[in-house]
Structure 1
Amino acid sequence: MEETNKVGSRIRMYRERLGITQEELAERAGLDVAFIKDVEEGRTYPAVGMLIKLSRALGKRLGTFTDDIEVKDPLITKASKKEEEGSKGKSHYHYFPLGKGKIDRSMDPMFIRIDPACGEKLSSHEGEEFIMVLSGKIELTYGKEKHTLGPGDTVYYNSLVPHKVSAADNRPAEILAVIYVPF
């Protein structure tokens, strides 16, 4: 299975196991069917909010689509060993999962590099998110509010409120994000 299409292949596999069509999955997840087709064919890598919607619609936890192997506690990810997951060249977000392999986890920690000019839409999903800015500046759109955060700043919010995280000042930013989605 090609790395860049692993998520799409797994989404297709679980959709087919449920015996539902792409149209039915799109309806359950509240997403466009063309988006589902692009994800399954590896033409696009879903942003975290979209991946959460897909995982909920399929009755799976978020990490089901990105994990490869099971590891024992404690799970340690050395800085030099973290690997980008699937978004290479297909998104303004570059995801580096930090909980990969811990199959009994309740949270999904990620290092995320955000390129400037991020055109992502607002996202909304069950759960909570915690973000710490590591470098650069981000702009958080949370409902109708906009907040700018710099290195060391943190934010913790309810993910049901429509939100978007983007790089500010037309420069890249790096964040640590911890996402909790109730199952």
Structure 2
Amino acid sequence: MDIGNRLKTVRQQAQLSQRELAKRSGVTNGFISQVEKNQVSPSIGSLKRLLDGLPMSLAEFFAEAEDNSNPVVYRAEEQPELGSGDISYRLIGGGFPGRAIGLLRETMPPGADTGPELLSHAGQECGVVLRGRLRLTVGGQEFELGPGDGYYFDSTQPHRFISIGDQPLELVSANTPPSF
């Protein structure tokens, strides 16, 4: 997907200038210009901030033109890649109308993590490790999880995910309300 052209299209459909979207999103209009020209690739966090200024969810941004039927099956090749860098987030059901759950298939190579700043947002999230090992920090507590282990927590608690061990981490996670 051409993120720059897609951002420009949705910004123009919302009848916003780059400057107005920048003001609403807390970024510079120069950054928006670079993204729209595909000179920089925004992180998920930066793209989410831009879309919050429209307002539009990440799922709506990445959804392709839909027909009038609600899909039931989302083949692997139809799951948009929302990640950047080492972390892969594949969204399942992104185009489903009125979607109330964010469902992701995540892959992280050994040593990858969600960053030094702990994440925190409204809602709840849960998941299960399919392969590899996960170090999960939630509200100041650290946990190590392996295949078959799961987690469930209030997303307002600061949290962080780190892939530990010598093989890639694969997990399936869900959050509500959907953050992607």
Q: Counterpart in 2 of 1:134?
A: 130
The 2-side partners of 1:125 and 1:23 are apart by 22
Q: Counterpart in 2 of 1:43?
A: 40
Q: Does 1:174 align with 2:173?
A: no
One-letter code aligned to 2:87: Y
Unaligned runs of 5+ in 1: none
Query: Residues 147 and 23 of structure 1: is their aligned pair in 2 closer, same or farther, counting only changes over 3 Å?
Result: same
Q: Does 1:77 align with 2:70?
A: no
Q: Counterpart in 1 of 2:109?
A: 115
1:47-97 Cα offsets, whole Å, 9 max, x none, are 3x5554444333222311211132634521345x4545154xx41111222
Query: Residues 70 and 37 of structure 1: is their aligned pair in 2 closer, same or farther, counting only changes over 3 Å?
Result: same
| TM-score, normalised via structure 1 length | 0.72
One-letter code aligned to 1:24: K
* Structure number with larger C-alpha Rg: 2
How far does residue 159 in structure 1 lie from its aligned partner after superposition? 2.1
One-letter code aligned to 2:155: S
Tell me, yes or no, if the aligned pair for 2:102 and 2:178 is still in contact at 8 Å. no
Count of aligned pairs: 172
How far does residue 138 in structure 1 lie from its aligned partner after superposition? 1.2
Query: Residues 62 and 128 of structure 1: is their aligned pair in 2 closer, same or farther, counting only changes over 3 Å?
Result: farther
The 2-side partners of 1:54 and 1:139 are apart by 30
The 2-side partners of 1:99 and 1:110 are apart by 9
Q: Counterpart in 1 of 2:59?
A: 63
Give the match's secondary structure for 1:156.
Answer: strand
Q: Counterpart in 2 of 1:24?
A: 23
Tell me, yes or no, if the aligned pair for 1:110 and 1:176 is still in contact at 8 Å. yes
The 1-side partners of 2:63 and 2:92 are apart by 10
